[in-house]
Amino acid sequence: MPDTERPPTERLPKPERGARLELRTESLAFEGKAVARRAEDGYVVFVEGALGQERVIAEILKAKGSFAEAKLVEIIEPSPDRHAPVCPYFGTCGGCALQHMKYEAQLVAKREQVRDLFRKIGKVAEPPVREAIAAESEFHYRNKMEFSFSDERWLSEEEIASGDVVDRFALGLHVRNRFDRVIDTEVCFLPKQVAVDVMNFTRAFAVERRLGVYSSGPTGRSGQDGRSTSSIPSTEVHSDEGGLLRFLVIKTSYATGEVMVNLVTSRDDPSVMGAYTRELLEAVPAVTTVINNINTRRAQVAVGDFEKVYHGTGSISDRIGRATFRISANSFFQANTVQATKLYEVAAEFADLRPDDILWDLYCGTGTISLFVADRVKSVLGIELVESAIADAEANAEAVGISNVQFVASDLKKALITPEFLSEHARPTVMIIDPPRSGMHQDVIREILKLAPERIAYISCNPATQARDVELLAEGYDLLDLQPVDMFPQTFHIECVAKLRRKQAS
């Protein structure tokens, strides 16, 4: 992460929107954008689509006092790390950001990202960052994909200019940084092919029956630059608050090959779901369970108020290490099963687990980490807010016969300050913490400092919030090691495990 506050010798006016600059990029910054500096005064420009060590023409999209954001217009001198992306939607789709970068270079850039974030946010002068652990597969590694329905399909400039596009229906991934626009995605290199087959069948089923797409409110049609496209006729698949279709979520099992299809709708419609299930199973026989989540709220989330199972058990199973896990439609499970095993081994190593340890697994989800390490410690307490995830965790423990684990559905902010909770559970000697992208609440960090376990392994999918939390934990803990693990090749995301030890009393 570059220092955007470096004082220039003489600052020129910030560039205007639409201005084109010739720039020499330095390195890849956060979210996969290249950082460059204006030659005259060092003014920072983040260039989307560029790589480090390139000479480019960039167009300014937005300029602030200390930096600007720009898009790549032309490559004058390419980086040696650049190569051709395999996906036809690359550059528009938000699913991948680094397909134009050789994988070895991606790993180097992600390690540097962790280092820079811990320097700037974590206030660590020399972060102890190891080399990033590479993924075994660069493509087709995701076991979960969430696709969105829309009748505002993202149009090319040529389609907008033609003015005669009729079919605006889309099922697929969002345009990068545009949550109101969906690409009608027919190929994707992130999941297994069966997920693409399900998506393409679902699209054909919806279009044939002219099923409506749910919208939380009126939307105006616009192109990627905001120009109105209201002159383009509306598709016959209408989008309104009475529309049925919301999301398509597909989960696959690396270990068993099971396939879950979860169609998220705005209301219960057994006739549509019955026909969909019958025809889907005929078209894609690999599907093992079909679920309908019904979300009647305005919030555009792929989680229903209730769900109905139309085929199979309503869950699939997968394995991480020696443990088998039941995965339901709305429970969390690591999206890259193979890399999750490597991630958890690092966490176990950093926690330095011992046979007499009392381990607390915070934000335990479906109990994947708890069960992965249960045979290495005396006992495990897993704490998670989502009750369905706890139900899965308990079923997983029972299925594999692990008896030294206990799972509790609770809000950590409340649990850790409740005397009854603390009196019911033995104090931890070690913690493994795996919070959501937003990191830990300050109240949780304060209570962890009071509990004062000897060792902490902190897993994060967002090194920025991890660095922030580690800086707060520095009151009572030393940071000894950082291990990036690449769970998501072709994206700028990186998981990281931090090794923390309680400070010794002076």
Catalytic residues, which ones? 461
Strands (E), 357-435: 358-362, 379-384, 405-409, 430-433
End-to-end CA distance of the chain: 35
Encoded tokens for 272: 């549509």
C-alpha torsion sign, points 40, 41, 46, 51: positive
DSSP per residue over 209-268, as a string?
TTPPEE-SS----B-TTS-B-TTSPPPSS-EETT--EEEEEEEE-TTT--EEEEEEESS-
Length of the chain in terms of residues written: 506
C-alpha torsion sign, points 352, 354, 356, 362: positive
Q: How far apart are CA 71 and CA 17, in angstroms?
A: 11
Q: How far apart are CA 52 and CA 64, in angstroms?
A: 22
φ, ψ at 301 (rounded to 5°): -130, 150
Side chain identity, residue 205 = F
Side chain identity, residue 474 = A
Encoded tokens for 464: 């920025």
Angle at 307 between CA 306 and CA 313, to 5 degrees: 145
Cβ burial of 83 (10 Å; 0-12, 13-18, 19+) is middle
Encoded tokens for 297: 């709220």
Q: Alpha-carbon dihedral of residues 479, 485, 487, 492, nearest 10 degrees?
A: 80
Number of C-beta neighbours around residue 117 at 10 A = 24
Name, in order, each residue with C-beta under 8 angstroms of 164's C-beta and a sequence gap of 6 or more. Answer: 232, 233
User: In terms of DSSP bridges, do strands 239-240 and 67-77 run parallel, antiparallel, or are they unpaired?
Assistant: unpaired
